[in-house]
Structure formats: structure tokens, C-alpha cells
């Protein structure tokens, strides 16, 4: 059965070196933190973790924008957690064979894996086709041609990065990604009437489902007025 999907591979850069320097227990703690972050981000953005691969993972999505947002969000979350390790990733989109309901066979999968292998720590390498689906708050570098193991011809690659906001930025209240109104996916107002910007509809929905204070608790001594 042939299907079209977006694929990404993510990997902890420097994990082997850190394991040798700081020991297995410290490496396992960092790996657990990475996996927890990946699970939370993927769950919130509707991206499936197809399989764990030691200190990395294979991600699959029917929506390229959600997948690219996930890759940037994971790296952003790792930095926010002050992790010693950064994440490198590679992503593509295309038609593949769905094998036995849970495995994907095809060139797009192979390319995504190889792009992850060659990406520097903290970088997201993608093909131009999937880069066109990037969220409004992301930008891409000029394309470059890279030699990729297993491919006879160089592969065209762009690096996906956060767009530098022009003007004062506000962080998405769910993931913390910096936004301005022009790059926000949607907006709302908080309890005190201030504008709230969201990087995606999924973050907006998560914010809408947050626990709310009752009217009698709002502004009380035990529960100060919440602006979010």
C-alpha cells in the first residue's frame, strides 16, 4: 500500500561522547529527559513517534507543517530545559510503501535519516519540498548541495531555523516560541485583556483546555489574579 507521509529523524548530538565522559547513569537521565520532551511535543502537535532508535527517534506525520514545527519545538524545549545536549534532525516528504501497517519503506525515509546523520547539533536539515510547508515563524537558509551517503548524486538541502521577529516578540504561552502577530497562527486575549499569540492551533487548543480558576478564587489571597 502506497501512502504519502512526512518523515523526520531526530538524534541527540554528542550523546556517545557524553556517555564516555560522565557515565551511563548521567546519559540515561539526559536520554529520559529528551524522550519526555519529544513525547510531550509530538503529542501536542499530532505527530507520531514511529519508533525509538537509542538516542534518537523516527517521526511520522500526515501534515508537514506540524512535523517541522515539532522539530523546532523539540530543540527549543531542550534549550529551555538547559540540556547539555542539542538535537539534530532531518526531514522529507513523499510517497512510500506502508509495510504491515507500521513500517515505511521508500526513498523519503532514507533521505530523512541521512540528513539527520549529517546535520550539525542544533540544526534541522530538510529538503526544499517539505520546507515550503514550514510554519510562519520559521525560515530557511539558501539551498546547498550535499554529498549524502548511499546516494550517487548530491542532495539539495536547506536548514530550517527560527525567524528573527521584527519588533517586540511575545512567547507562545504553551511552548515558549517567540512570535509577533504576523507570524502567529492564531490569537486570543487573556484574563486581563492582553493579546496572546500562539504558534499553532494545537498550542491554542492546549491553552484553551488549561485549568481555570473559579470566579470566587480569581484575585483572592490564596490564588492571585491569573493573566494567562
Tens of pLDDT along 141-177? 999 999 988 888 999 999 999 998 777 889 999 999 9
Separation CA 49–CA 39 (nearest Å): 8
Q: pTM here? A: 0.90
CATH 2.60.40 for the 165-228 domain, yes or no: no
CATH superfamily of 2-162: Nucleotide cyclase, GGDEF domain (3.30.70.1230)
- Cβ atoms of 59 and 115 within 8 Å: the answer is no
Count the neighbouring beta carbons within 10 Å of the beta carbon of residue 24.
9
Element (H or E) spanning 208, and its range? helix 201-208
* CA dihedral of residues 38, 44, 46, 47 (deg, nearest 10): -10
Domain positions in the chain: 2-162, 165-228
Region for 200 from its dihedrals, namely left if φ exceeds 0, alpha if ψ lies in -120 to 50, beta otherwise: beta
Tens of pLDDT along 176-218? 999 999 999 999 998 899 999 999 999 999 999 988 766 565 5
Amino acid at each position: 500500500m502506497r501512502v504519502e507521509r512526512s518523515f523526520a529523524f531526530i538524534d541527540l548530538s554528542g550523546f556517545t561522547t557524553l556517555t564516555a565522559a560522565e557515565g551511563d547513569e548521567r546519559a540515561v537521565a539526559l536520554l529520559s529527559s529528551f524522550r519526555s520532551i519529544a513525547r510531550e511535543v509530538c503529542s501536542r502537535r499530532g505527530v507520531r513517534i514511529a519508533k525509538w532508535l537509542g538516542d534518537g527517534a523516527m517521526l511520522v506525520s500526515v501534515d508537514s507543517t506540524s512535523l517541522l514545527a515539532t522539530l523546532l519545538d523539540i530543540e527549543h524545549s531542550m534549550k529551555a530545559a538547559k540540556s547539555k545536549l542539542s538535537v539534530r534532525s532531518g526531514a522529507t516528504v513523499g510517497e512510500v510503501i506502508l509495510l504491515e501497517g507500521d513500517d515505511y519503506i521508500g526513498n523519503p525515509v532514507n533521505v530523512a535519516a541521512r540528513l539527520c546523520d549529517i546535520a550539525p547539533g542544533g540544526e534541522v536539515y530538510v529538503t526544499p519540498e517539505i520546507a515550503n510547508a514550514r510554519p510562519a515563524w520559521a525560515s530557511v537558509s539558501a539551498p546547498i548541495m550535499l554529498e549524502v551517503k548511499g546516494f550517487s548524486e548530491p542532495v539539495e538541502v536547506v536548514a530550517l531555523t527560527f525567524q528573527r521577529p521584527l519588533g517586540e516578540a511575545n512567547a507562545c504561552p504553551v511552548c515558549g516560541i517567540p512570535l509577533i502577530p504576523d507570524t502567529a497562527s492564531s490569537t486570543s486575549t487573556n484574563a486581563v485583556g492582553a493579546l496572546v499569540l500562539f504558534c499553532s492551533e494545537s498550542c491554542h487548543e492546549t491553552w484553551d483546555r488549561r485549568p481555570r480558576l473559579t470566579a470566587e478564587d480569581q484575585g483572592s489571597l490564596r490564588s492571585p489574579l491569573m493573566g494567562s
